[in-house]
Structure 1
Amino acid sequence: MEDAKQNTQIMERPKILTISTDEETLGLVDEYVGNADYKFIKSDFDTKNIKKIIKNQSPSLILLDIDNSDIDIHRFSQYFENYNIPFIFIVGVMFDDDILEDILECSPYQFLIKEIEEDELLRAIAVVLKKHKLNTINVIEAKDKIREKNVELVVEKSNSVLLLFLCVSLILMALLTRNATWLQWVLLIPTLAMIINAIASIKKQKEVEMIEDGDKLPFVSIFIPAHNEQYTIKSTVESIAAMEYHYEGKPQYEIIVVNDGSSDSTGEILHDLKKDISNLKIVTRHPPRSGKGKGFVLNDALTLSKGEVIGVFDADTQVKTDYLKI
């Protein structure tokens, strides 16, 4: 019975909740997602209605239309994140830099510009659903590993405490009877070492300090593997290039993007970005060398890097300006 229930959940159509007051947008999304066999759900911006839908229907993804609507997108995005629901913003053609900055601060999985095309919408939905699924699996696996490590630590500490107790007992017995054997004298040294380590371990660890302006900074190389990322690569590179991590007025980091055989406009976008971002380096892999896997991509980036610290970011990453200073 349980297996049948799980199979039903797996085969259930993904539910796409669209929040908008624009009937034209709602109609297009309804048509497009219906063609792809997704289940369409709609709502206006009423918070109670949205909460009710999320609670009762558990949407797989949310499309939030922020065009011509006076809403707090930060509050909405935080609410979706609390429920672990991926979301995509829909914006108008004439959105300005302030709106773009707000969008990037909210960290949506993607954002789409009206008028929405069917192929673009369905591709975005498919990518977001797949990425969110992988992220969820990674989080679950990480929590399982942490849980296992915690159990191992408890066992190790219990064994250490027991061993320490036995060693101390033998040494105290020798001191009280004034008849120490060679084994008790041998145990004295590791016992003292264990006691010193135990005392040191309970001391409060030094808090991590933020790097202040003027401090000597380690040089950082940031790798970004990219394959057909024309919709996200520009905002990703610009976000990373805006980080406040400088020494004597110069960026103390480099951005190395590896264009791994992209067949879309990723290469052209990167070359346009290079004109304004001095610490951007581009590696282009062409067939038959391209498409061999992430390991080969990172190896190519390593040949150009000069950083003391290496970081690898996805091609749709968004970071805060103080990311490297914490």
Structure 2
Amino acid sequence: MFAAAAVWGIVLRVIYFHSDTHPYDKAIYPGVGPAFARPLGWEARPISGMDGGDFDTGVVDNRLEQADVARLRRYLEYPAKCRRPIFFRISDPDMPDTLNPSVRFIFDCADLPGVHYATTYDPEGPFLAFTRRLKASGVARLPFAYDSSREIDAPLRGRSRRLFLSGANSRELYPVRYALRRRRRWSPLLRHLIHDLEHPGYPEQGKLQRHDITHDRFVALAARFTHFLLCGTRFNVELMKYVECAYAGSVPVGVPANSLSAGAKRCFRPYTVRSRDLVSDLREPILGLEKRAAAYRDAMRELRSPSRIVGEFVAQASAIVAGRAA
């Protein structure tokens, strides 16, 4: 299915191009490859199918293998007027610092005619510095879309009054999560109040997979608890967990990402490191918790609705391409 959006009289035909050989089936969350494009209604096509030209704009996934890079090089060797513009998708503020040669290629293409970038998170850190050096390439926003089919309707009244904690443990990258885990290690109370799911590892990169609680199993586990810890890395960006908390119908706890709407942010209480504040939140009357969880889900449905994301991306991409062609 092709997705087209009419914005200011503009209709744009977008195709999401992904690696021909990358093992997306081993990815630990549905934010990469064809799974990223699915809730947006965009056709996902292998990079080897890019030469067809039956699209207006291509968005290129950043999980690239060597053969994908070779194909993209050949595509970009065509005269700019003979090929469609592409937007390389950026999914990590630290990506410009990578040593991976296939990912380095993405940034080496900066300012080539018809090459632009689509960022899942607001530009921060190394990627923000990269954008400030751009002279011809543009940057459009393309956040995670809200997939209402993943929602779980499990009443809070039947859940365990505990906080669901998950993700990688890095003092530098996830300071809030790291600090809470450190406190939990020494506090019997916090060990009782917090369900900590260790990171599953990176089988997509050929590494050992520690467990298979990913994708829908991850949301289902989160829905067994009333509260869900959210923190957006040292850059406070909107990780997929921010929509997964809403899918689980849980109460958000932690730090609202900078990119959240005012309505979504109001569902968080001011975050502190004090255990008694967490206990107070967990013991809030169930009616108040239900209102917060429902309000958060409603806010994320609106903020990250697929039609809104596609419409805003089409508007930005069209302006970028038109501006560079002028």
Question: TM exceeds 0.5?
Answer: no
| TM-score, normalisation: structure 2 | 0.28
| TM-score, normalisation: structure 1 | 0.28
Q: Determine which structure has more spread, i.e. the larger CA radius of gyration.
A: 1
Which structure is higher in helix share? 1
Larger RCO, structures 1/2 (Cα 8 Å, 6+ apart): 2
